[in-house]
């Protein structure tokens, strides 16, 4: 803006690169005014230079306030606003503003425009103030001060805190525009804000000023437009409107009953508005939330901002339709992942993957296109997660979205491997080979540094995938799963037994994940016998506590027990498929609350006792089942076949958990080596490399420099991705589909899910979103978003399980069955619909949750 200080700038002289000077809204409006064919009301912007000249409020105290202390925020923000509104404008600032008004006594709109506003990752919609129909220079100057003060409203302060934006870094500009007196106004979304579909635009329209819609005073007319055609519309009864008052300000007025049911826009006007919206969207390169007015000369655009709630779309190399299935829902980790975590998972995955919104997806379009592969995919998805199958079927119902292709001509089938025998030695051999491979990796990786480390890791990733794809390992996994399904299907058919395998698999041998939970009970036994150590652990808050334990009576034994546990399981953590997540070995204090819960809730020897109780229960169930089968027609044959399947499931179902253990063990080795490089590359901030992909990290090591701006942008992106909820299925149109349960056998008010572990239990719900925050008592029911294997230590102390994500063979389901916990997974929004402390009843056999007392 030149060397001289500029307090006012005309909108026509602004573009989107001037956010620091004119704020987000001002920059957007200036850019809009430059788009051919887009009309924007004339006006100017009072720059952030004026804000800094006038508002010199110390904000250090505001930055130190606890974000959860609403009372303190309310009091401090009110004090700051009073101070700002009471500051007299310096003469040069006031002169610049009145000069821009040029003596015009026409009405204006005075609108806040913060530098953190209308951004791609945070819209700040409605966080600062706007004043309409302001007449006269004195009133305009007053309202500019009020706009500056609105930067410190309670809602704006909290919004910034929740979005990680420093109060001291935000400045306020103010847009002053000629007032428009529209016949109709409203909002245009160039992508469907509910489904995310980028091909569908949504128009909300009402009579008069848009404040009637924004404030919820009236229901708008709603039009949906695809490819220039209105595909749906709802005309509302618009009983009231907001209009300008001649002396200034606005008022509510009733609408004539005859006019109320008339559409605010004609269909031709709707189509024209969407055409303008597409032009704006193309200019900014992303879907837009646009505020518009219709006056006698046509449409005027009074605001455009990015739609920040849309889930991003994976990039594709063509213009064809694609259907993507969420990887996170299968892996029980739907949180956003950092770039290094995403890229390492892609390097080590068995199938190609696509990234969007910090999550991974698999393109299933080719498998959906052909009848045979489609049926197989839907069957596998349905067994694992019925909601995933329903979401895919919902997309298939979209006419021609996935064009049907004939099955390819069958290729000569390779010789089928011989059926795997039911032999525990097979599992033992697989586990031993995995251990040897990891030991070799740990030994060999130490010799590699710098660029050579990354060359080594590329080869290690290939070995990683070879281990995952071991045909014998795959057969062992499928043997456990197939025999589970066989038992459930046949015993329901023959005996009316529902989910019989849930009991038959109790305490199955060799399950490394369930052993992990029981092993922490053994650690608790060591702690319980040493009261001084138990008391010390109650106050532990950092990860240096292990070094302090030997100073206490019995502390050496407790330290050794915890260290032994970490040697075996320290590579695990919540969200462990993301290599950047802190492992238990890195943050052992994470385990302390769980150990203390075990000390309080269990008697000595609980681990061995729990395992033996489960084993005996499974044996009794086996005897009962076989006895009942022998009384049926062909009973001896059915009993013999069932016995063979029971032996098969108990041999192989525990191994289902071992490959994941192997993956995470290797990940920890990779991570330790990568962090050693990071410490040399970015001393003091090694975890900054988590915001680089593997390839970018490799290049940075080769060049011995890091792109700081790239890391800063990636951190902003990651914060935005954390706020998004990934759908189970995502289309290339941007439509997110999460699936529905189509059941009629669930009581009114109950929450539907997937039955994964039989039994019914009633108890207190404990809603836990972070394992480190768990505070459980015996008989509690754990309610959480998802449970990967790291949650299994909590399973030994609860009575039931409810999760938002999961299916029959996901880790949480397998371990719930191992421990005999009634469990229902895939319960949409369970952590929001079930209140912490509420009594609930979990129907693990029927697959639903009843909400009892409040």
**Residues assigned a catalytic role:** 811
DSSP secondary-structure letter at 125? T
Contacts of 459 (CB under 8 A, 6+ apart): none
How many whole angstroms separate alpha carbon 348 and alpha carbon 327?
Answer: 14
Q: Quick check: 481 and 384 in contact, CB under 8 A?
A: no
Q: Which residues contact 232 (CB under 8 A, 6 or more apart)?
A: 222, 223, 224
* Coil, strand or helix at 323: strand
Which candidate, 604, 675, 656, places its Cα nearest to that of 427?
656
Distance CA 781, CA 840 (A): 8
Q: Which tokens sit at 409? A: 């001509």
Measured CA to CA, the distance from residue 206 to residue 41 in angstroms comes to: 20
Output the CA angle 277-280-285, nearest 5 degrees: 120
Torsion (CA) 725, 726, 731, 736 in degrees, nearest 10: -40
Between CA 386 and CA 378 the distance in angstroms is 9
Q: Alpha-carbon distance 649 to 627, whole Å?
A: 19
Instruction: Yes or no: say if 235 and 264 are a contact pair by the CB < 8 Å rule.
Output: no
Q: Are 255 and 182 in contact (CB under 8 A)?
A: no
Separation between Cα atoms, residue 830 and residue 785, nearest integer Å: 7
Rounded CA-CA distance 704/702 in Å is 6
Nearest to 210 by CA among 188, 178, 192: 188
> Diameter of the chain by CA atoms?
102
Q: Measure the CA dihedral 522/527/530/533, to 10°.
A: 160
Q: Is residue 797 within 8 Å of residue 815, measured between CB atoms? A: no
- CA 280/CA 297 separation, integer angstroms: 19
Instruction: Determine how β-strand 800-803 pairs with β-strand 823-825.
Output: parallel
CB proximity list for 177: less than 8 A, separation 6 or greater: 11, 29, 40, 41, 42, 43, 108, 109, 111, 302
What are the b/e assignments for 80-92, b being 16+ CB within 10 Å? Answer: bbeebeeeebeee
CB contact at 8 A, 303 and 654: no
User: Which residues contact residue 58 at a Cβ distance below 8 angstroms, ignoring those fewer than 6 apart?
Assistant: none
Whole-angstrom distance, CA of residue 179 vs CA of residue 41: 7
d(CA 217, CA 206): 10
Residue in the block written with tokens 């128009």: 203
Nearest Cα neighbor of 108 from 83, 139, 82 is 139
What are the residues whose beta carbons fall under 8 Å from the beta carbon of 119, sequence distance 6 or more? 24, 306, 308
């Amino acid at each position: 803006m030149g060397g001289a200080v500029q307090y006012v700038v005309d909108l026509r002289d602004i573009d989107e690169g001037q956010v620091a000077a004119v704020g987000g809204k001002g920059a957007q409006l200036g850019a809009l005014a430059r788009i051919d064919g887009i009309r924007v009301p004339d006006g100017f912007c009072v720059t952030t230079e004026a804000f800094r000249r006038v508002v010199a409020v110390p904000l250090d105290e505001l930055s130190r306030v606890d974000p959860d202390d609403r009372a303190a925020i309310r009091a401090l923000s009110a004090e700051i606003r009073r101070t700002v509104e009471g500051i007299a404008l310096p003469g040069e600032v006031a002169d610049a503003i009145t000069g821009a008004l040029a003596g015009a006594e026409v009405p204006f709109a005075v609108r806040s425009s913060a530098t953190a506003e209308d951004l791609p990752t945070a819209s700040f919609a409605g966080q600062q103030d706007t004043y309409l129909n302001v007449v006269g220079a004195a009133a305009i100057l007053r309202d500019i001060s009020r706009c500056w003060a609105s930067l410190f409203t309670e809602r704006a302060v909290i919004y910034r805190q929740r979005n990680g934006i420093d109060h001291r870094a935000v400045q306020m500009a103010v847009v002053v525009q000629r007032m428009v007196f529209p016949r109709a106004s409203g909002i245009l979304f160039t992508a469907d804000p509910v489904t995310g579909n980028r091909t569908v635009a949504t128009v909300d329209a009402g009579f008069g000023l848009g404040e009637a819609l924004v404030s919820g005073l009236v229901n708008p007319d709603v039009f949906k437009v695809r490819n220039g055609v209105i595909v749906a519309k709802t005309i509302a009864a618009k009983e009231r409107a907001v209009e300008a008052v001649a002396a200034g300000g606005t008022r509510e007025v009733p609408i004539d009953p005859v006019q109320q049911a008339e559409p605010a826009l004609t269909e031709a006007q709707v189509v024209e508005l969407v055409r303008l919206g597409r032009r704006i969207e193309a200019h900014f390169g992303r879907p837009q939330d646009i505020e518009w007015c219709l006056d006698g000369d046509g449409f005027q655009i009074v605001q455009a901002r990015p739609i920040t709630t849309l889930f991003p779309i994976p990039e594709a190399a063509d213009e064809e339709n694609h259907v993507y299935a969420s990887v996170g829902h299968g892996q029980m980790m739907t949180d956003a992942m950092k770039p290094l975590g995403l890229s390492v998972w892609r390097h080590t995955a068995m199938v190609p993957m696509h990234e969007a919104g910090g999550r991974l997806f698999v393109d299933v379009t080719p498998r959906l296109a052909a009848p045979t592969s489609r049926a197989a995919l839907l069957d596998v998805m349905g067994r694992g997660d019925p909601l995933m199958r329903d979401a895919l079927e919902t997309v298939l119902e979209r006419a021609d979205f996935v064009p049907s292709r004939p099955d390819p001509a069958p290729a000569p089938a390779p010789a089928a491997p011989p059926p795997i025998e039911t032999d525990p030695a097979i599992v033992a051999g697989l586990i031993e080979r995995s251990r040897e491979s990891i030991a070799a990796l740990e030994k060999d990786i130490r010799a590699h540094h710098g660029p050579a480390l990354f060359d080594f890791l590329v080869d290690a990733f290939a070995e990683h995938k070879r281990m995952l794809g071991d045909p014998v390992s795959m057969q062992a996994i499928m043997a456990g799963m197939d025999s589970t399904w066989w038992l459930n299907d046949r015993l329901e058919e023959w005996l009316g037994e529902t989910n019989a395998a849930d009991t038959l698999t109790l305490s199955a041998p060799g399950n490394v994940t369930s052993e992990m939970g029981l092993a922490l009970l053994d650690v608790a036994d060591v702690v319980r016998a040493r009261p001084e150590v138990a008391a010390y652990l109650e106050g532990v808050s950092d990860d240096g506590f292990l070094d302090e334990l030997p100073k206490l009576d019995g502390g050496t034994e407790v330290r050794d027990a915890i260290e032994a546990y970490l040697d075996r399981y320290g590579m695990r953590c919540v969200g462990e498929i993301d290599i950047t997540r802190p492992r238990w070995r890195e943050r052992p204090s994470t385990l302390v609350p769980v150990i203390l819960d075990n000390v309080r809730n269990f008697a000595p020897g609980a681990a061995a006792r729990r395992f033996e109780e489960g084993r005996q229960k499974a044996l009794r169930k086996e005897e009962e089942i076989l006895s009942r089968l022998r009384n049926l027609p062909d009973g001896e044959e059915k009993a013999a076949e069932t016995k063979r399947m029971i032996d098969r499931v108990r041999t192989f179902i525990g191994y289902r958990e071992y490959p994941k253990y192997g993956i995470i063990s290797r990940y920890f080795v990779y991570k330790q080596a990568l962090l050693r490089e990071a410490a040399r590359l970015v001393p003091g901030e090694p975890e900054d490399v988590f915001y680089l992909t593997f390839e970018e990290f490799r290049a940075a090591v080769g060049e011995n420099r890091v792109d700081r701006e790239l890391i800063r942008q990636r951190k902003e992106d990651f914060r935005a991705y954390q706020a998004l909820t990934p759908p189970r299925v995502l289309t290339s149109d941007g439509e997110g589909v999460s699936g529905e349960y189509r059941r009629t056998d669930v009581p009114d008010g109950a929450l539907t899910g997937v039955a994964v572990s039989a039994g019914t239990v009633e108890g207190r719900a404990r809603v836990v979103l972070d394992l480190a925050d768990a505070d459980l008592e015996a008989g509690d029911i754990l309610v959480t978003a998802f449970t990967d294997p790291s949650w299994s230590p909590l399973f030994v102390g609860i009575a039931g399980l409810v999760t938002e994500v999961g299916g029959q063979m996901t880790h949480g389901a397998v371990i719930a069955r191992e421990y005999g916990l009634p469990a229902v997974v895939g319960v949409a929004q369970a952590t929001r619909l079930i209140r912490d402390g509420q009594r609930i009843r979990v129907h693990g056999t029927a697959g639903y949750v009843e909400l009892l007392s409040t």
